[in-house]
Amino acid sequence: MSAETFDVRYPTGAHGHGSDAMNKDPDYSAAYLVLTTDNPELAGHSLVFTIGRGNDLQCASVEALAQMVIGETVEGLVDRLGDIGRNLVRDSQIRWLGPEKGIPHMAAGCIINALWDIVCKVEGKPLWQVLSGLSPEQLVDLIDFRHISDALSPEEALALFQKAQPLRQEREAQLLSDGLPAYTTTPGWLGYNDETMVRLAREAVADGFRFIKLKVGGSLENDRHRIKLMRETVGPDITLAVDANQVWDVPEAIAWIKGLEDDLIHWVEEPTSPDDIVGHKAIQDAIAPIRVATGEHVHNRIMVKQFLQLGAISFLQIDATRVAGVNENIAMIAMAAKFGVPVCPHAGGVGLCEMVQHLAMFDAVAVTGHHSSRVVEFVDHLHEHFVHPTVVDKGRYRAPLSAGAGAEMKPQSIKDYSYPSGKAWK
């Protein structure tokens, strides 16, 4: 195999898309990897999502770490992916830079995900279906149990997957028929004025969405106003959640959320630092019946373990590119299943919907099944750049049927948005 990376950046910052209380002007970006094989028709595509500056460093880290897998072959690859994943995060010198967090950890995830893309293309199936076709033993082998065995042992994970195995066929049929419920953040960005928010919210409901998320944390008064206006716009039957993108300290979070004076809010997302497990627990206890969600910035399975052990969150929002790839997300899905916390994936950005939908669908088929607590984020940006864009219809993700793990971008998009040479940046 050989590895090539591309620094792809979309100039989204100028338009207020994706703006929130923490991230003022994100340029949605991808540290994009292509792993080529001896077969010119077969390549693994993957990406790490970033929001602009530093995307070059992320590319450099992916490219350096990818040297560890260029000796890999396609034959029997699926059964080596557990070991490859463990090796990628255990290089003893690279590990010092984390351990298991940040740039090199996301790089490991990018490489693992590109290898999964190859496996899927060889099998001619979408990732969710490949994963849902693995034996419980194969799934267990994908998990790195280091530092999580006190919360989930290999035996427990095996039992969990075995229990779901007889139900897979029925669940897959339901998935193919009904898809999975999506929620939309499209109307809720902090940079939008009232008129834009109301228009987009009406469109979202007309499109079939039953769940809308608003960004909050700029000013309490403005948040109250926007939530009230949103509620008036969409009516009582639409679920509303809010997202503070980490801007509050713990006492401030508690006071602010209570100050919103709306106990119908379904969840508060990222009320404080994603590192603050103890703080999330304090917030969750104080703001009941409103519940707490986090995950998109939670950097590995060891952090997720603790959020679950302390009962600090009610919804786990896994992200396709924050952690060490599909493998570590399977570990998280399995832990969440054991602790009874629903996985409601984070998406948006660029390519995150295309990628993370597979993990939600794997969960629905081969782990926790279909249930009313799962909802998958959807943001209607930048899908046109993907070879197989996400299909959301009547507020539901449709199960993709094309082969792959979802991240493959159109060659023209890679070219046009390459930074700083692409024509979008001239």
What's the gap between Cα 311 and its chain centre? 21
Q: Would you say 217 and 20 are in contact if contact means Cβ atoms under 8 Å apart?
A: yes
Smallest gap from Cβ 96 to a second copy, in A, equals 5
Of the candidate spans 158-166, 305-313, 336-344, 396-404, the one that interacts with a second copy by CB under 8 A turns out to be: 305-313
Q: How far apart are CA 309 and CA 87, in angstroms?
A: 27
Q: Taking CB under 8 A as the rule, does residue 423 contact a second copy?
A: no
Tell me how far CA of residue 179 lies from CA of 172, 283, 319, 393, in angstroms.
Answer: 10, 33, 19, 9
Among 61, 80, 83, residue whose Cα is nearest residue 119: 80
Name the active-site residue from 101, 280, 346, 385. Answer: 346
Q: How many CB atoms lie within 10 A of CB 217?
A: 24
Q: Taking CB under 8 A as the rule, does residue 7 contact a second copy?
A: no
Is the Cβ of residue 154 or residue 259 nearer to a second copy in the bound state?
154
| Residue 208, phi then psi, degrees to nearest 5 | 105, 0
Tell me how far CA of residue 187 lies from CA of 31, 198, 398, in angstroms.
Answer: 27, 7, 21
Of the candidate spans 46-54, 167-175, 184-192, 213-221, the one that interacts with a second copy by CB under 8 A turns out to be: 46-54
If binding means CB under 8 A, how many residues of this protein chain bind a second copy?
62
Of the residues 309, 416, 418, 425, which one makes contact with a second copy according to CB under 8 A? 309
Angle, vertex CA 399, rays to CA 111 and CA 26, nearest 5: 55
Is the Cβ of residue 106 or residue 200 nearer to a second copy in the bound state?
106
Of the residues 147, 163, 228, 258, which one makes contact with a second copy according to CB under 8 A? 147
Name the active-site residue from 17, 45, 215, 381. Answer: 215
Look up residue 228 and give its two tokens. 């009230």
Is the Cβ of residue 27 or residue 363 nearer to a second copy in the bound state?
27
Smallest gap from Cβ 285 to a second copy, in A, equals 13
Alpha helices in 143-210 (DSSP H): 154-164, 168-178, 194-206
Q: How many CB atoms lie within 10 A of CB 174?
A: 15
- Cis before residue 420, ω within 30 degrees of 0? yes
Of the candidate spans 128-136, 142-150, 189-197, 338-346, the one that interacts with a second copy by CB under 8 A turns out to be: 142-150
Smallest gap from Cβ 13 to a second copy, in A, equals 8
The answer to whether 215 is a known catalytic residue is: yes
Q: How far apart are CA 339 and CA 307, in angstroms?
A: 10
Of the residues 213, 215, 299, 385, which one makes contact with a second copy according to CB under 8 A? 299
Angle, vertex CA 349, rays to CA 355 and CA 235, nearest 5: 100
Return the SS3 of 252.
helix
Residue 310, judged by CB atoms within 10 A of its CB (0-12, 13-18, 19+), counts as: middle
Q: Taking CB under 8 A as the rule, does residue 306 contact a second copy?
A: yes
Smallest gap from Cβ 412 to a second copy, in A, equals 25
Of the residues 41, 93, 236, 289, which one makes contact with a second copy according to CB under 8 A? 93
Of the residues 1, 88, 89, 94, which one makes contact with a second copy according to CB under 8 A? 94
Of the residues 23, 174, 239, 418, which one makes contact with a second copy according to CB under 8 A? 23
Query: Beta 396-397 vs 239-243: how paired, if at all?
Result: unpaired
Is the Cβ of residue 58 or residue 233 nearer to a second copy in the bound state?
58
Q: Taking CB under 8 A as the rule, does residue 98 contact a second copy?
A: yes
Angle between helices 301-309 and 277-287 (to 10 degrees): 40
Binders of a second copy among residues 53 to 72 (CB under 8 A) are: 53-54, 56-58, 60-61, 64
Q: How far apart are CA 79 and CA 67, in angstroms?
A: 20
Q: How far apart are CA 305 and CA 324, in angstroms?
A: 15
Q: Taking CB under 8 A as the rule, does residue 208 contact a second copy?
A: no
Site string for a second copy, 241-280 (x = CB under 8 A): -----x--xxxx-------------------xxxxxxxx-
Q: Taking CB under 8 A as the rule, does residue 91 contact a second copy?
A: yes
Is the Cβ of residue 23 or residue 239 nearer to a second copy in the bound state?
23
Of the residues 99, 191, 311, 389, which one makes contact with a second copy according to CB under 8 A? 99
Look up residue 208 and give its two tokens. 């079939």
Is the Cβ of residue 404 or residue 422 nearer to a second copy in the bound state?
422
Smallest gap from Cβ 295 to a second copy, in A, equals 14
The answer to whether 346 is a known catalytic residue is: yes
Catalytic residues, by residue number, are 215, 346
Q: Which residues bind a second copy (CB under 8 A)?
A: 22-27, 50-54, 56-58, 60-61, 64, 91-106, 145-150, 246, 249-252, 272-279, 282, 297, 299-300, 302-303, 305-306, 309-310
